[in-house]
């Protein structure tokens, strides 16, 4: 029995590691985060739009692995191994995935086309020196986390908001902030995981500059501000949002120290999938 469990555990670890390093898992979280954006706005989810975000997320993070290979060699050597000898094919299928994502949005919601390019534009601006003599945004501490949070919050909140009739600005703003704060918290927790590689590479992240204890306190405070968002959500959706906020306290405290990368990906990035499953369960029991 013990040997069977170990075999299953090893198989799960190998499969999940592949999903992480290939960007398939983070792409799946993009699907479910967008789905949850619809749910929190009280709008029927458009699965085609969610799939377009899946493709866009897959593309962005695959391209990001190519450009951040030096840091990954220290923080996540599995990614470097995966990319070894595959850079050209990864580049090709990443660009193809983004093109297909844009095509799906163009066919389904033409007016939403600019939104789907927000993360790509943000990455380009973030890594470029716009004014000679002025540091790149990438070189300014914590800006990376804000860029990631803002770009993904805009995608996962505004795409669903385009389907909201009539528009409710307070609800849209609340969901947008909810997504922004959650993604920012998640991004900083990944910096906690990568603190050794970032310090060795001279990258000034929040954990590198402030230490993990102060970083954790800031994240807990930021998570607390999400309680204010509950006021503007529909009464049937507040329990779900409250559970997500409480869950945020748990994983911030747990991952304030370096833990298993698999656990970090599953319980932090995977929270959107967990939240959607919880929503469907609550809905099945008539509680949401």
Average pLDDT over residues 261-279: 91
Whether residue 80 is predicted with pLDDT greater than 60 in this model: the reply is: no
Phi, psi of 277 (to 5 degrees): -60, -45
Average pLDDT over residues 239-257: 94
Count of residues making up the chain: 288
Residue written as token pair 């033409």? 110
Question: Which domains occur in the chain, in start order?
Answer: 2-284 (1.10.600)
Q: Does the global pTM surpass 0.75?
A: yes
The model's pLDDT over 210-233, given as tens digits with 9 standing for 90+, comes to 888 999 999 999 999 999 999 999
By CB atoms closer than 10 A (0-12, 13-18, 19+), residue 1 is exposed
């Amino acid at each position: 029995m013990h040997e069977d469990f170990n075999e299953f555990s090893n198989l799960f670890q190998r499969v999940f590691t592949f999903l992480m390093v290939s960007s398939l898992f983070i792409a799946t979280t993009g699907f479910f985060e967008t789905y949850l954006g619809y749910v929190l706005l009280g709008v029927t989810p458009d699965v085609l739009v969610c799939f377009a975000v899946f493709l866009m997320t897959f593309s962005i993070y695959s391209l990001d692995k190519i450009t951040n290979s030096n840091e990954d060699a220290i923080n996540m050597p599995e990614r470097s191994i995966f990319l070894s000898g595959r850079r050209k094919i990864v580049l090709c299928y990443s660009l193809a995935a983004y093109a297909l994502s844009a095509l799906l949005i163009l066919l389904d919601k033409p007016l939403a086309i600019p939104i789907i390019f927000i993360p790509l534009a943000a990455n380009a601006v973030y890594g470029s020196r716009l004014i000679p003599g002025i540091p790149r945004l990438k070189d300014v501490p914590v800006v990376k986390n804000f860029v990631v949070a803002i770009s993904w919050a805009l995608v996962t909140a505004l795409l669903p908001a385009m389907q909201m009739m009539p528009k409710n600005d307070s609800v849209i703003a609340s969901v947008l902030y909810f997504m922004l704060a959650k993604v920012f918290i998640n991004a900083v927790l990944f910096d906690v995981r990568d603190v050794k590689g970032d310090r060795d590479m001279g990258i000034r992240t929040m954990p590198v500059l402030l230490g993990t204890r102060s970083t954790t306190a800031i994240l807990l405070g930021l998570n607390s501000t999400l309680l204010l968002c509950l006021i503007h959500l529909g009464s049937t959706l507040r329990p779900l949002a409250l559970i997500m906020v409480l869950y945020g306290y748990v994983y911030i405290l747990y991952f304030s120290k370096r833990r298993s990368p698999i656990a970090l990906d599953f319980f932090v990035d995977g929270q959107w999938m967990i939240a959607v499953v919880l929503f469907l369960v609550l809905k099945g029991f008539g509680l949401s």
